[in-house]
Amino acid sequence: MKHSFLFFRFLALLVSVCFLAGCGKDEEDLVSGTSGVSFSNAALEVPSLDAYVDNIKVSAIPITYGNTSGFPGNPYLSMNAGLRFIVLSPDGSNNLVQGNIPLAPDAAYSVFAYDTINAAGTLRVLLLTDNLTPPTPGKAHIRYIQLSPDTGRIDIRLTNTTDTIPYNAQTYVPTGSATEASLAVFRVVNPGNYNFTIKNSSGTTLPLSVPVTLVDGKIYTIYSRGKKSNGYGTTTGFNISTVTHN
């Protein structure tokens, strides 16, 4: 699945629908309300990115590598619903991600820029729709996304003294068969203090151990980034980041 062309697939679909239905700018402007979009920088070679919507910068501060727009608990940047032109750029002119995406009113989305800059001068991008329905009392929601480009199949474990949250046979997103819809799904888990560990396809435990705290009522995305060839747990090596959605 080639997630790097995700925005353009959306655009092509919209063009087809508009051609058949005869929609135009006036119809696009009929979409009312606002949407929330978070932007995460998982691109190893890009120290920081700014987000632009319809050529207007919407990120108050640069989104540095391994981090997300906004702040923990509210990573979403508010923008008008409808067809929006989205750009991620380190300097306002070199557009590493760009394309049109349709945003539904009162909906939330997560955009992940990842991998390394390709020959065309762009990054891969993943767009997920976020279900922000609050967890039931005594529970948290979590999902995991594997965005480390040189890591093969791995098994993930989040463990504490009473619970284990497994993510088995996780592969680098572009090489796997998972759809955006399946990647977007959150699991219901028990809150608590966990330890994040990984094993390779041979069952060998790899040298990474990261504490992760899941709070009652919160919603999280954990994503991996960096390259295992640069080590584990290092600045540029295989590591994880967490997005707190609420």
The pLDDT of 186-200, averaged and rounded, is 97
Rounded distance between C-alpha atoms, residue 88 and residue 246, angstroms? 23
Confidence of residue 32 (pLDDT cuts 50, 70, 90): confident
pLDDT tens-digit map of 144-155? 999 999 998 999
CATH number, domain 1-130: 2.60.40
Fold classification of 134-246 (topology level): Immunoglobulin-like (2.60.40)
Instruction: Using the predicted structure, report yes or no on whether residue 125 has a pLDDT greater than 60.
Output: yes
Cα end-to-end distance, the chain, whole Å: 29
Percent of the chain whose pLDDT exceeds 90:
83
Confidence of residue 29 (pLDDT cuts 50, 70, 90): low
pLDDT tens-digit map of 45-97? 999 999 999 999 999 999 999 999 999 999 999 999 999 999 999 999 999 99
Spatial contact of 221 and 126, defined as CB atoms under 8 Å apart: no
Domain extent listing, the chain: 1-130, 134-246
Confidence of residue 175 (pLDDT cuts 50, 70, 90): very high
What mean pLDDT, rounded, does the chain reach? Answer: 89
The pLDDT of 158-181, averaged and rounded, is 95
Of 126, 189, 113, give the one whose Cα is nearest residue 156: 189
pTM of the model: 0.88
Residue ranges of alpha helices (H) inside 122-214 are 180-183
Rounded distance between C-alpha atoms, residue 74 and residue 222, angstroms? 16
Amino acid at position 3, single letter: H
Of 31, 34, 90, 82, give the one whose Cα is nearest residue 64: 90
- The single residue listed with the structure tokens 């529970």 is 139
* DSSP code for 73: T
Same fold, 1-130 and 134-246: yes
Rounded distance between C-alpha atoms, residue 57 and residue 174, angstroms? 28
